[in-house]
Structures are given as C-alpha cells and as structure tokens.
Copies of this chain bind each other. A is one copy, B any other.
Amino acid sequence: MPNGDENYDILTYLEDYVKDYPDKEIRVINAAINLFSEKGFSATSTKEISKRADMAEGTIFRYFPTKDAILERMVPLLIHAIKPKLEKPVKDIIAERAGEPVGDIFATIILDRLNIIRGNGRLLKSVLPELMYREALQQQLTQSLLPMIRGYVSQVLEEGRKRAEIGPHVSANTAMHQLLGFILAYSLFGSKDEAQAKKDVEEFMDGVMKGWAANAQD
C-alpha cells in the first residue's frame, strides 16, 4: 500500500448511503477505489478488480455493464461523501457557536473540510484525475458543489459584516478562492499532523480575518 494509507472502505464513510447496495456491488466498488487510487483507472484491469474483490471476473459484469460504469458510480458517492458536510447550513454552525468570532468558525469549518478530504482521499484520488478527461463527470461534480460553496461563503461573509467583523470590500468570489485554495494546497502539500494542521489553519484564518476586517485601513 503506497503512501501509508490504510485500505479505503465505503462502509466506514458512507454506510447509511450504500446500506442497500448488494454486497457484491460494494465489494467491486471498494476494490476499484483502492486500485484506481493506486494505479489509475486505465492502468487497472477488470481482472485485478475481480481478484481484489474476491470474485470471478464475470461477476463484475453482472453488476456493472462496463468498466466505465464503475467509475461513474463513484461520482455520486463522492458527492454524497462531501456534500452533507458542506450542507450543514453555516447559519446553524454560527448559531451553535454564537459567541465566537467568525474567523474561529471559519477555522473550524476548514479543519473539518481537511478531515473530509483526508478521510476520502482514496475516493478523491480515484475520481479526480479522470475528471480531467471526462467533461460530463467534471460538470456533474463542479456544478453540484461550487455554487453551493460560494453560497455558504457569502452567508458567512454577510454574517461577519452584520457583526462588523468583516468589511464591505471583500467579494464572495475572491474569498471562496482564498479558502478553497488554502484547503487544496494544504491537503496536497501540508502537514499530515493533526495538531500542526490546527495551528497552521488558525494562523491562516487569523491573517485572513485581519485582511477582511471592517476597520482595515485602505
């Protein structure tokens, strides 16, 4: 197993969602996720998948008409793994943590997001590279996620403005790229250590909030 990750198992992360999938189907998807993330989609053969899933090659094609269909099935899984974490409306989080500054709330959200990415790293690594060459899948994912993210960033910015913690000069678009970018870069190159990540994220958000501050000098 490369890069020290343990084997991914959908049941650990998405049990509620896949609980009435046939057992065989889950085994195929699990095997495929792990192989695709190790060697890539095209370099993985259906024979290998069947071996890893501990069944005959023919059985795969009872449950999936083509090899492509296995990959395509992963996209809704990925969306489902990520969306609910984003979905918990930010206003709720703000309500829950009513006293705290918006910057701390953002820091919590970012850390949460980094953990999602880490937990579903293999699923991401299976699907994302192939998205580059499959526009249909790509749009399925970005159209279902990007506007929502922008919406929630907007909400938090608005909340921050009401509380006079954030000035009017900050656009949702730039803010989104700023946050998304940090998450992306940190999940690729950042520290794997949880405590270090917490420190880094807090320092990052601290700086960001100072830049966004309502009373920042022009």
Residue interface mask A25-42, B partner, CB < 8 A = 1: 000000000000011111
Answer whether A170 and B207 are a contact pair too, CB < 8 Å, given A181-B185, A189-B177: yes
User: Is B146's CB under 8 angstroms from A189's CB?
Assistant: yes
A40 to B40, CA, bound (A): 10
A interface majority secondary structure: helix
A54 contacts chain B at the CB level, 8 A cutoff: no
Report A104-157 residues with CB < 8 Å from chain B CB. 125, 129-130, 132-133, 135, 142, 146
Nearest CB in chain B: distance from A129 CB, A? 4
Instruction: Write out the residue numbers on chain B whose beta carbons fall within 8 Å of the beta carbon of A8.
Output: none
Instruction: Write out the residue numbers on chain B whose beta carbons fall within 8 Å of the beta carbon of A173.
Output: 200
User: Is A189's CB under 8 angstroms from B142's CB?
Assistant: yes
Instruction: Write out the residue numbers on chain B whose beta carbons fall within 8 Å of the beta carbon of A42.
Output: 40-43
A76 contacts chain B at the CB level, 8 A cutoff: no
Instruction: Write out the residue numbers on chain B whose beta carbons fall within 8 Å of the beta carbon of A185.
Output: 177-178, 180-181, 184
